[in-house]
Structure 1
């Protein structure tokens, strides 16, 4: 851990102690998860290269990108996230689903039953992926965070986002605790733009919904 990371960690700990309901907001841009098989069709003879680490342990944005092609258009240069998964999956915003002509459901990651298909295209290959979703907003948290908030896996909470000139309350936020998760609420670009979310915007957990 370098000096900057240590400083950020100390700052985060102090803020959490002063405000125990504080939750960092992470804006999730469109992205693609691939199986090993689909990855090697799209990127033959290429190892997946790290572009930048993501906040959650062992996850990263790769240097590899592909185009998402739907019935009415395409989204170009969409980044592949690593490492590879057991099922390929495409996550886009509602506005993008309309743009390319797919009726993508709002789902948690991995819940792909009935989700539509799109083509993924690179200069070296093409695959059809059944699994286009709009990610349901959720909070990654450690087990200790879950105890502090009084929630468990799958609980639904509300989060208030107090950004500059625009206060927004998001309901139906799913809690996803895991021992190694780092505290962060994920929303997509449509939701972030609607709430005027900036780089350092945070949310506050209001209450579990029953």
Structure 2
């Protein structure tokens, strides 16, 4: 007699989600082609290859420490010290790889207060007119004239997900997070690419505000 096929993680998540909604007396949202993941993105920076060499030495390349949810993205073993206004410091600022075409630091609001910054909420890559800082590594330092932002909440999705939700690149959606706090985020920026998995990114302040846990009920809603 053949063994029963193993149940997949996505099937387990679907069953748990339906059970929880049923206990709450609510109808579970229609499942899309891929499971929705919401992750909290802690403060970090993205660097160019030239910046990495300036901070860590000629020929130095980032070393993957932990692979992230999006394919090919990782938290590097390398970190830097960030110096803000009035010489206030954040040490062990993690670098995310692979390298990019511009240098960018992403902080939460409470980070900016601690550093004495007033930083704007921006989409990644939109750094014109933003504050700068100094980054220090074991081989040198790098003065940035701009590039410090608070990253806007956003969702990565592939074209199948976009079709299911009826959205396109540049649209905004709502993210509902269940639980005792019951928070809804009204401006989740949509990014669409063939290489993306369905994932929402919020920062540490936003994750704490909504009490996000791995068991939180989450739902994307078209505005």
Per the normalisation by structure 2, the TM-score is 0.84
Name 2:43's counterpart in structure 1: 30
Describe how 1:123-142 pairs up with structure 2 within 5 A.
123-129=138-144, 130-142=146-158
Structure 2 unaligned spans of 5+: 1-6, 19-27
> Which of 170, 175, 187 is matched with 2:202 structurally?
187
> Which of 39, 51, 57 is matched with 2:52 structurally?
39
Considering only aligned residues, what root-mean-square deviation do their CA atoms show, in Å?
2.1
Task: Determine which structure has greater relative contact order: mean sequence separation of CA pairs < 8 Å that are 6+ residues apart, divided by chain length.
Answer: 1
| C-alpha contact (below 8 Å) 2:177/2:210 kept by paired residues | yes
Structure 1 unaligned spans of 5+: 1-5
Higher strand share: 1
Query: In 2, distance between residues paired with 1:29 and 1:128?
Result: 22
Describe how 1:132-171 pairs up with structure 2 within 5 A.
132-163=148-179, 165-171=180-186
Query: In 2, distance between residues paired with 1:154 and 1:37?
Result: 30
Query: In 1, distance between residues paired with 2:149 and 2:46?
Result: 12
What SS does the corresponding residue of 2:69 show, helix, strand or coil? coil
User: How many corresponding residue pairs?
Assistant: 202
Consecutive aligned runs of 4 or more in structure 1 exceeding 6 Å deviation: 13-18
Cα shift at 1:68: 1.2
> Which of 199, 204, 208 is matched with 2:219 structurally?
204
Per the normalisation by structure 1, the TM-score is 0.89
Query: In 1, distance between residues paired with 2:65 and 2:216?
Result: 24
Q: Does 1:68 align with 2:79?
A: no
Query: In 2, distance between residues paired with 1:103 and 1:94?
Result: 9
Q: Which has the larger radius of gyration?
A: 2
Cα shift at 1:24: 1.7
> Which of 117, 124, 133 is matched with 1:109 structurally?
124
Name 1:20's counterpart in structure 2: 31
The Cα offsets for residues 105-144 of structure 1, whole Å up to 9 and x where unpaired, read as: 1001000110100111123211012200000000011110
